[in-house]
Structure 1
Amino acid sequence: MGSGTEPLGPPARDALYFNSATGLEHAGDSEAEAEAHWLIESIAGMLGADGPDWVIEDGDRKIGKLSLSLIRKQSQQGAALSLKVGRRGWTVTMSVAARHWVEIAVSTGAAEFVAYAERQYEEIELWPAGHRGEAWSISPGRMGKRYTWISLTAEGWPEIAGVAPSGVLNLYESGTVEISG
Structure 2
Amino acid sequence: MGVIMNLFLSAVTGPKVYRVPVQSYSEESVEYESNPLESLLTALIDTAHSFYGLLKWTVILWGPWFLRNVQSHDHLMSYAKLACLGCVLYLTVLCTRGIGRLWNPTYVKFISLYRSAVLQPSETNLRQLTLYSFSSPWPALFDVRQLPSTVLHRSHINPPQRSTGIYVLLWPVT
Q: TM-score scaled to structure 2, two decimals?
A: 0.24
Which structure shows the higher helix fraction? 2
Q: TM-score scaled to structure 1, two decimals?
A: 0.24
Larger radius of gyration: 2
Which structure shows the higher strand fraction? 1
**Higher RCO structure, 1 or 2 (CA under 8 Å, sep 6+):** 2
